[in-house]
Structure 1
């Protein structure tokens, strides 16, 4: 019998994750700052909808160029824009959903999350507070993953993304963002206008933006492991380093060189 989760400690952090996805298209992770040193993180674009549920006593301070707000948890779309998230004591469960899963499990999200980060209370209403309380009362990560899984499945909609939209999304991911709307139209048999409209409604960003985010994330992962911007630009299909610089700055709020040196 496979273990349902793994736990490890990393430089003062307690990290846990299920050994296999509990819901199709959804991954989860648990994080606890064991030394109460606080956390200050930059939000970057991901090809997923990210939900961070803070169940400890400290709230999440979410900042942007226009100010800062305190949330009990946040939901970020594929392209949230530059944000910083900090807290005095990080105790959270993170849920990452493919946009196809998010369309079924999160109601109006991801379409309503274009270029923003929302309070989980704005997405789930009073149920978000009850979920945070349940997570705080649950003693183990395995139990918290089970609580969150039940919460998501109980709230799941009977609707699902169009098969054509789902196919377009997986084609974008498989091509690492190297696909055009006209290719997707030919692939689905839809007009370009219909592909653009239905995809944007159900995924939350345009097909072009989705492709940019997928390619950016590949570049981001290479940069943070120390690869040079020049090599990353070539590997990820950017026209040149300036093109890479524009995307990384827009999606991560930092330059490729700064990422590669972290």
Structure 2
């Protein structure tokens, strides 16, 4: 979780980088972000970006005087927290008004009235905890499989996952996609990509990252990054997509306050 406020010296124009979580952006204050999607649509205000949103750099966030709380939600809890199937959100952007109706406006007012970032973080945690408590959880086998993929940095075979949970490959594929938002293999590839970008941002050489992250070669890594972000291995670590992870993009997107917590598994 992180709080962000743009510096006000120039309009915000951010390329959304695909991420192996569902991103919830709760905005407040005088500005209202506009989110352009690949289909040519434009969304206004607080929004949810589904698992892997931002392929080819076609999703952008624009605006002025924008402030908000960004939450990286594990897809394993996104259905309970948001009230919408992750499968419906896959690669998509949906406004919070569409999902929550009047509650979205009330949340914006409460965030605007909160005196500090810590109060806003606590308010957001309370909101999500309440929603999760009121909704059925994902299947334990699906949650376990997702966590195995994340722990293995995407280098896990679907056949192995199915065998370990005692399901057929077909059953795992259908339940996983319905409750996580992507088929297991595509989810694993997204996690692998994210891990590779972390390493590039930390200064590791592209050739070494490719070899140790499960890519066939450096060209394979280059193509994957280009397809997912529209950028190159040299430029993608500097893409100023508002992120909780300071290792990736630090404060390049504006003034950011983070809330320590568990990784979004």
Give the shorter-chain TM-score range: 0.7 to 0.9
- 1:203-240 deviation per Cα after TM superposition (whole angstroms, max 9, x unaligned): 01110111011100011112233333212111211111
Q: Per-residue deviation at 1:149?
A: 1.9
Counterpart residue number, 1:241: 218
Q: Quick check: 2:114–2:120 contact (8 Å CA) kept in 1?
A: yes
Indicate the larger mover: 243-252 or 127-136: 243-252
| Cα drift, residue 39 of structure 1 | 2.0
CA-CA distance at 1:139 after TM superposition: 1.5
Compared CA separation, residues 200 and 130, structure 1 to 2 (3 A): same
Match of 1:17 in 2: none
The answer to which of 228-237 and 130-139 deviates more is 228-237
Match of 2:194 in 1: 217
CA distance in 2: counterparts of 1:54 and 1:36, whole angstroms: 19
Match of 2:12 among 39, 43, 54: 39
- Aligned 8 A contact 2:15 2:60 in 1: yes
- Given that residues 227 and 260 in structure 1 are in contact (C-alpha distance below 8 angstroms), is that contact kept between their aligned partners in structure 2? no
Taking structure 2 as the reference length, what is the TM-score of the superposition? 0.82
CA positional deviation for 1:96? 1.0
Provide, for residues 92-141 of structure 1, a one-character-per-residue CA deviation record: whole Å limited to 9, x for no partner.
10011111121321111422111211111122222111111111111211
**How do residues 145-224 of structure 1 correspond to structure 2 at under 5 angstroms?**
145-156=121-132, 157-224=134-201
User: Does 2:37 align with 1:64?
Assistant: yes
Moved more, 57-66 or 168-177: 57-66
Whole-angstrom CA distance in 1 between matches of 2:204 and 2:141: 36
Q: Deviations over 1:148-168 (max 9, x none)?
A: 122222322331111111110
Of the three residues 71, 74, 84, the one matched with 1:95 is 71
Q: What is residue 113 of structure 1 aligned with on the other side?
A: 89
Task: Kindly indicate which of the two structures has a greater share of residues assigned to strand.
Answer: 1
Over aligned residue pairs, what C-alpha RMSD do you find? Answer: 1.8
Residues 36 and 89 in structure 1, CA contact (< 8 A), matched pair in contact too:
no
CA distance in 2, matches of 1:70, 1:116: 11
Determine the C-alpha separation between the residues in 2 that align with 1:118 and 1:159. 22
8 Å Cα contact 2:49-2:89 kept in structure 1 = yes
Q: Does the 8 Å contact 2:37/2:59 carry over to 1? A: yes
How far off its partner does 1:38 sit?
A: 3.1
Gaps of 5+ in 2: 240-265
SS state at 2:65 partner: coil
Count of matched residue pairs: 235
Seen in structure 2, the aligned counterparts of structure 1 residues 260 and 51 have a Cα distance that, compared at 3 Å, is closer
Partner of 1:124: 100
Partner Cα separation in structure 2 for residue 204 and residue 261 of structure 1: 27
The normalised TM-score by structure 1 is 0.83
The answer to whether the 8 Å contact 2:6/2:64 transfers is no
Moved more, 245-254 or 31-40: 31-40
